[in-house]
C-alpha cells in the first residue's frame, strides 16, 4: 500500500487518471433505477484519492479548469447564439436582470451575515448554481499580492504578528491580607460576586500542592490565581504582593473547543453552568452557534450543537469537556463517511 501511495505522490498524473477511472466506475453503478452519474462519481473519487495528500501542480489545475469552462461554453454556445437570432432583446434583458440580482443579493447577504470573501464566493456560486464562480474566485485570490497565510485567512493580525492581549492569565501572589487568612479556597473563590476567580495551586514553605475547594489558606502562602486579565490588574494586590514563582506557575494551559451534546446542559444559562463543580477553573472565551459567534452574557442559554471555546489549566478543561460534550480538536484527518454522505 505504501508503494502505491508513494507512486501516486511522485506521479500525480496517475492519480488524475485513477480518479477518472474510479469516478466513471462509481457513476455506472446502479441501485434499481438510481445512479450517481459520472460527475458525482468522479467528484467522490477525487475526494477519496485526495486524502492521500497528493500535490497536483497549479498549472494542471488551471488547465482542467479552463477545459471545464471550454466544454461548458461549447455546450451552451450554439444555443445562445441561435437564441439571439430569434428573440435577442428578452434574452439579453433576462441575463442582465439575473446577473445583477444574483450579484447584489449575494453581496448583500454576505455583508448582513458577516461572511468572509471565500464564504461569500460560495454563496454567490450557489445563487448562480455555477461552480465556475468558485474557480474564478479562487484564481482571483491566488493572484492577489498578499502572503499565503492571508490567502487562507490565517493571518488576522498581519504576517509574523500576534496579539499581545491576553484575556486569561494565571499569576502568583503572596497572601498578606489578614481577612483572607484561614479561609478555605472555596470561600476565597466565592468572594468576588461579579467575576470568576480560582486558586489553582498553593506553595506552602517549599512544597507545592494542588488547590481544592477545602484547602485552607495560611499567612504567607503563595497562591496561583486564575482570572481574567483585568481582574488581576484591578484587584490582584488585594491578596498581597505579586511574586515571580516560575515553578508554581508552570501549569499546562489548554484552549479547546467543545461541542455541546449533553441534555443536562441544554437550556441552561451560562451563569447556571458556571456554578457547577465541573466548570471550576475553566473560562469561556467564545460561544459559536450555527457558525456565528454570539455575545456572551450570564443569561445566554446553551443550545444543542453550540461550540464553546474553553480555556484553563489542562486537567480542568479535560474534566469540563467530559461533562459538556465532545472535544473538537484540530486535526488533518477527514471523516470520509460524513463527507461522502454529505456530497
Distance CA 87, CA 83 (A): 6
pLDDT value, residue 254: 85
- Give the DSSP H or E segment for 68: helix 58-113
DSSP letters of 97-140?
HHHHHHHHHHHHHHHHHT--HHHHHHHHHHHHT-THHHHHHHHH
What's the CATH number of domain 168-243, 3.30.70.1450, 3.40.50.1000, 3.40.109.10, 3.90.105.10? 3.30.70.1450
Distance CA 330, CA 123 (A): 25
Bridge partners, 208 (sequence order)? 203
Q: Find, among 207, 185, 210, the residue nearest to 198 by Cα.
A: 185
pLDDT value, residue 241: 92
pLDDT value, residue 162: 45
Q: Where are the domains of the chain?
A: 2-56, 58-151, 168-243, 253-327
- Do 168-243 and 253-327 share a fold? yes
- 140 phi and psi, to 5 degrees? -65, -40
Topology of 253-327 in CATH? Alpha-Beta Plaits (3.30.70)
Residue with cell 461554453: 73
Report the b/e string of 272-291 with b at 16+ CB within 10 A: ebeeeeebbbbbbeebbbee
- Say how many C-beta atoms besides its own lie within 10 A of residue 324's C-beta: 24
Q: Which three cell numbers stand for residue 221?
A: 502562602
pLDDT value, residue 272: 87
Strands, sheet with 307-313, edge to edge from the N-terminal-most edge strand: 292-293, 283-289, 307-313, 253-260, 325-327
pLDDT value, residue 21: 87
- Say how many C-beta atoms besides its own lie within 10 A of residue 223's C-beta: 26
pLDDT value, residue 343: 46
From first to last of its 343 residues, what are the pLDDT tens digits of the chain? 777 888 888 888 888 888 888 888 888 888 887 878 887 888 888 888 888 888 877 777 778 777 777 777 766 666 666 566 656 677 778 888 988 888 888 888 888 888 877 788 778 877 777 666 766 766 666 666 555 545 555 555 454 444 555 677 889 999 999 988 899 988 888 888 888 888 889 998 888 888 888 889 999 899 999 888 888 888 888 899 999 888 888 888 888 888 888 888 888 888 888 888 888 888 888 888 877 788 888 888 888 888 888 888 888 888 888 888 888 877 666 565 555 555 4
**3-state DSSP assignment of residue 163:** coil
> What predicted TM-score, i.e. pTM, was given to this entire model?
0.48
Amino acid at each position: 500500500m505504501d508503494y502505491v501511495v508513494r507512486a501516486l505522490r511522485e506521479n500525480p498524473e496517475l492519480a488524475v487518471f485513477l480518479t477518472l477511472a474510479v469516478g466513471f466506475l462509481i457513476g455506472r453503478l446502479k441501485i434499481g433505477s438510481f445512479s450517481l452519474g459520472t460527475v458525482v462519481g468522479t467528484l467522490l473519487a477525487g475526494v477519496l484519492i485526495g486524502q492521500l495528500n497528493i500535490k497536483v501542480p497549479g498549472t494542471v489545475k488551471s488547465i482542467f479548469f479552463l477545459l471545464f469552462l471550454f466544454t461548458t461554453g461549447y455546450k451552451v454556445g450554439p444555443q445562445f447564439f441561435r437564441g439571439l437570432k430569434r428573440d435577442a432583446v428578452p434574452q439579453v434583458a433576462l441575463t442582465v436582470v439575473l446577473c445583477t440580482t444574483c450579484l447584489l443579493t449575494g453581496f448583500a447577504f454576505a455583508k448582513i451575515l458577516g461572511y468572509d470573501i471565500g464564504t461569500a464566493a460560495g454563496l454567490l456560486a450557489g445563487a448562480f448554481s455555477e461552480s465556475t464562480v468558485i474557480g474564478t474566485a479562487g484564481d482571483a485570490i491566488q493572484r492577489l499580492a498578499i502572503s499565503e497565510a492571508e490567502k487562507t485567512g490565517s493571518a488576522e493580525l498581519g504576517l509574523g504578528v500576534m496579539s499581545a492581549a491576553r484575556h486569561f492569565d494565571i499569576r502568583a501572589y503572596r497572601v498578606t491580607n489578614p481577612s483572607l487568612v484561614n479561609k478555605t479556597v472555596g470561600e476565597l473563590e466565592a468572594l468576588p460576586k461579579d467575576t470568576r476567580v480560582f486558586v489553582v495551586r498553593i506553595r506552602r514553605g517549599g512544597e507545592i500542592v494542588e488547590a481544592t475547594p477545602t484547602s485552607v489558606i495560611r499567612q504567607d502562602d503563595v497562591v496561583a490565581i486564575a482570572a481574567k486579565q483585568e481582574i488581576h490588574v484591578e484587584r490582584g494586590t488585594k491578596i498581597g504582593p505579586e511574586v515571580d514563582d516560575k515553578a508554581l506557575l508552570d501549569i499546562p494551559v489548554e484552549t479547546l473547543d467543545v461541542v455541546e451534546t449533553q441534555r443536562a446542559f441544554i437550556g441552561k444559562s451560562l451563569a447556571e453552568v458556571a456554578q457547577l463543580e465541573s466548570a471550576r477553573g475553566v473560562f469561556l472565551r467564545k460561544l459559536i452557534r450555527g457558525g456565528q459567534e454570539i455575545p456572551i452574557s450570564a443569561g445566554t442559554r446553551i443550545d444543542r450543537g453550540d461550540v464553546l471555546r474553553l480555556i484553563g489549566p489542562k486537567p480542568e478543561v479535560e474534566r469540563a469537556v467530559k461533562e459538556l460534550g465532545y472535544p473538537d480538536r484540530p486535526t488533518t484527518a477527514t471523516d470520509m463517511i460524513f463527507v461522502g454522505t454529505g456530497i
